[in-house]
A and B are shown apart, each in its own frame.
Chain A
């Protein structure tokens, strides 16, 4: 059992653990699935559940969740973003932690909900308290659970793409790399400009397709020069963009969400690949 929990009411990891404590009360984690995982790649959600369970958590998927509200917020519609924030906070009331397999959705919940509700006397403090319980999946597994073993294994070269929001708003950089370092057989080979945006940017890819294409083309070239078998990221939007471009280019690099490799949930074909691993 990899999970190590201390005082559950705070986000601190207790240095001395007692297994009885862990089993006495497993932390209840609400999984924020994210709209893209829900719609495009449910296997990522199941991989996240498996990892969280391996870390000793009880996982619940509240039905009341939809999307984190980024399209409204970044589209300039703060009013609707606020309403969606309230809905999400209600859906995840009462959990010890809220975990999302996405840096940008987690950043929306953790960084932007408190900003959106800062002037709302009634809900500002609730938003701040909610934000404290929110974590990106990799950051949660390392920072809170202190996970030291993962169920998955992978024999091959892997490169990791940092999603911008997770990297810059939540400072998630080392955690996914530490997790990849404990995957048996996996060799991490970094590409250049790992911190450069892939050009997804939510609706940006639809509003400025040509610029987005120039950016993702650069990203794919950087990825290719690292000569990986597999490109991983913690961000479904980036993955759809990069995998879609690699697929169009006929490249052989496969793309998966990092949770799939960590959890050993690799039965589903890679993104934009069919069962035999071929792109067609």
Chain B
């Protein structure tokens, strides 16, 4: 099955999935309303978006400089920096670190980069006991699924789904225990995860931002799970991508202000942690080693392209929360690590245009995503560029030919007018005496779901030309009548 055919099948499944549809219906009241409130409470929110954009653009324009500075300062602070060109490289590096540490249990906090390279699966294949410690990620893990949202991985689940999977997964707990409130379920997860935190040999986190001036990583969560993941084991691995670096802490603050407000509507996330190297001699506690794995995976190429602005992304998820397509089909149907508008803009660069170019088709270009993006990524323009690249592919031959034929027509007004006249009359004829067409085989994509209004018959251009002709005739008649009167009255 082609990626596009798979996409169509997944769309149909998602639209028919009643629990998913009920879960998605909550997005507007949750994330969208939350962001709106947060924005209203901060008068400088819109100017702040421009500040955020400029900070990211500056960092990307001098990425080589800041990455080198970051590496130097992180090394000085005692971290080890690893460079990974591909997902494979990154997985190998992390596997080697875990093996060298003699690890058995590995805790992990949420990281989209780890999803991108399927790190958990790779570690599990190597017989490590890996546990996701973000509640949503934990749910996704024990249900053997993928996240359906970049900040709310289990947004597709409902409370009863959680209770069911907990009963199945936590078989050692009393079968008659009550799991009828979110509080009870969270308490159960906390108990399970607490044991894992204490047993972990390696803790893996992502990073929201890297700060070049000190070699620090900034990590935000609402559950505090990243703090336990990074501080209890002997080894802390930070897996992130090269685009996350900013020059100084002063550059990071505006981005953090934008991030929480855009993502969840919070003024600030509950936990914001700055990590600068492993435990220092004067520290009472902390990991003995701190490794920072910096992934490229197509980003350098993206940086060199016209679509560089995609790398501004700070992974807030606002674009998908506000996307009518995402809110109709959810994240899984995209079959892409990053769903929604940012996924359509970013995934083709990561997986290769052949794998994900069809995602850019799944947009009405309504522009709501651009309007809310905290760093003003021109998502519609980027999607349009992916469409343009896809159109040049051999498999787009049919679409290309049809588009070119239509475009040629649109460049010849006389023929265009003639064809439009025929089209209007034909549709009118198909409608008969009715005002709408209920079924039209060659337009079944339209008429399967809605009626096609019958045209009024005759194009505007034709009717306008007729009106002009009548006016001209009337004017001519008036002139000749006036002439006749004049000659009559002449002596």
A280: which B residues are within 8 A, CB to CB?
Answer: 434-436
CB under 8 Å from chain B, chain A span 54-74: 61, 63-67, 69, 71-74
Query: What's the nearest-Cβ distance from chain A to residue B332, in Å?
Result: 14
In the complex, the answer to whether A244 meets B364 with C-beta atoms within 8 Å is: no
Given A77-B388, A77-B407, A206-B445, A247-B451 contact (CB < 8 Å): yes
Mostly, the B contact residues are helix
Partner of B403, one of A75, A208, A212: A75
- Tell me how many residues of B have a C-beta within 8 Å of chain A: 67
In the complex, the answer to whether B450 meets A216 with C-beta atoms within 8 Å is: yes
In the complex, the answer to whether A279 meets B435 with C-beta atoms within 8 Å is: yes
Interface Cβ pair total, 8 Å cutoff: 214
In the complex, the answer to whether A42 meets B391 with C-beta atoms within 8 Å is: no
B458: which A residues are within 8 A, CB to CB?
Answer: 42
B463 at the interface (CB under 8 A from A): yes
In the complex, the answer to whether A195 meets B368 with C-beta atoms within 8 Å is: yes
By CB atoms of chain A within 10 A, which of B28, B390, B410 has the most? B410
In the complex, the answer to whether B15 meets A211 with C-beta atoms within 8 Å is: yes
Give the complex CA separation of A69 and B411 in angstroms: 10
A193 at the interface (CB under 8 A from B): yes
Find the B residue at minimum CB distance from A201: B364
As a 0/1 sequence over residues 153 to 195 of chain A, the CB contacts with chain B under 8 angstroms (1 = contact) are 0000000000011001100000000000000000000000101
CB under 8 Å from chain A, chain B span 397-429: 399-400, 403-404, 406-413, 416-417, 420, 423-424
Give the complex CA separation of A215 and B404 in angstroms: 29
A22: which B residues are within 8 A, CB to CB?
Answer: none
B271 at the interface (CB under 8 A from A): no
By CB atoms of chain A within 10 A, which of B365, B412, B433, B455 has the most? B365
A45: which B residues are within 8 A, CB to CB?
Answer: 460, 464
Partner of A80, one of B363, B404, B423: B404
In the complex, the answer to whether B460 meets A42 with C-beta atoms within 8 Å is: yes
Given A63-B417, A84-B407, A168-B371, A248-B451 contact (CB < 8 Å): yes
A124: which B residues are within 8 A, CB to CB?
Answer: none
B324 at the interface (CB under 8 A from A): yes
Give the complex CA separation of A163 and B12 in angstroms: 26
As a 0/1 sequence over residues 73 to 107 of chain A, the CB contacts with chain B under 8 angstroms (1 = contact) are 11111101101100100010000000000000000
As a 0/1 sequence over residues 432 to 443 of chain B, the CB contacts with chain A under 8 angstroms (1 = contact) are 011110100001
B453 at the interface (CB under 8 A from A): yes
Find the A residue at minimum CB distance from B328: A214
In the complex, the answer to whether A248 meets B449 with C-beta atoms within 8 Å is: yes
Query: What's the nearest-Cβ distance from chain B to residue A261, in Å?
Result: 17
Give the complex CA separation of A112 and B228 in angstroms: 50
Query: What's the nearest-Cβ distance from chain A to residue B318, in Å?
Result: 15
Give the complex CA separation of A237 and B388 in angstroms: 23
In the complex, the answer to whether A38 meets B413 with C-beta atoms within 8 Å is: no
In the complex, the answer to whether A272 meets B455 with C-beta atoms within 8 Å is: no
Give the complex CA separation of A44 and B463 in angstroms: 12
A269: which B residues are within 8 A, CB to CB?
Answer: 435
Give the complex CA separation of A158 and B230 in angstroms: 58
Query: What's the nearest-Cβ distance from chain B to residue A137, in Å?
Result: 14
A218: which B residues are within 8 A, CB to CB?
Answer: 324
For chain A, give the interface size range.
35 or more
In the complex, the answer to whether B366 meets A164 with C-beta atoms within 8 Å is: yes
A215: which B residues are within 8 A, CB to CB?
Answer: 324-325, 328, 364
In the complex, the answer to whether A243 meets B453 with C-beta atoms within 8 Å is: yes
Find the A residue at minimum CB distance from B389: A76
B274 at the interface (CB under 8 A from A): no
A149 at the interface (CB under 8 A from B): no
CB under 8 Å from chain A, chain B span 329-385: 329, 361-368, 370-371, 384-385
Give the complex CA separation of A71 and B103 in angstroms: 56
A205 at the interface (CB under 8 A from B): yes
A8: which B residues are within 8 A, CB to CB?
Answer: none
B387 at the interface (CB under 8 A from A): yes
Give the complex CA separation of A248 and B465 in angstroms: 35
Partner of A66, one of B370, B413, B438, B448: B413
Query: What's the nearest-Cβ distance from chain A to residue B490, in Å?
Result: 33
Partner of B436, one of A39, A72, A76, A247: A247
A206: which B residues are within 8 A, CB to CB?
Answer: 443, 445-446
Given A74-B365, A208-B11, A199-B324 contact (CB < 8 Å): yes
Give the complex CA separation of A200 and B452 in angstroms: 13
B169 at the interface (CB under 8 A from A): no
B6 at the interface (CB under 8 A from A): no
Query: What's the nearest-Cβ distance from chain B to residue A38, in Å?
Result: 5
Given A205-B445, A240-B452, A245-B450, A87-B368 contact (CB < 8 Å): no
A-B interface, 6 closest residue pairs, ranked by CB to CB distance from nearest: A201-B364, A76-B387, A80-B407, A76-B388, A244-B450, A197-B366
Can you spell out 20 A-B residue pairs with CB atoms less than 8 angstroms apart? A38-B420, A40-B424, A63-B413, A76-B389, A80-B408, A80-B410, A169-B367, A193-B28, A197-B368, A206-B443, A208-B11, A210-B15, A215-B325, A243-B451, A244-B451, A247-B450, A248-B438, A271-B453, A272-B436, A274-B435
Given contacts A67-B416, A196-B324, 6 further A-B contacts (CB under 8 A): A33-B461, A61-B464, A66-B413, A75-B391, A204-B365, A245-B449
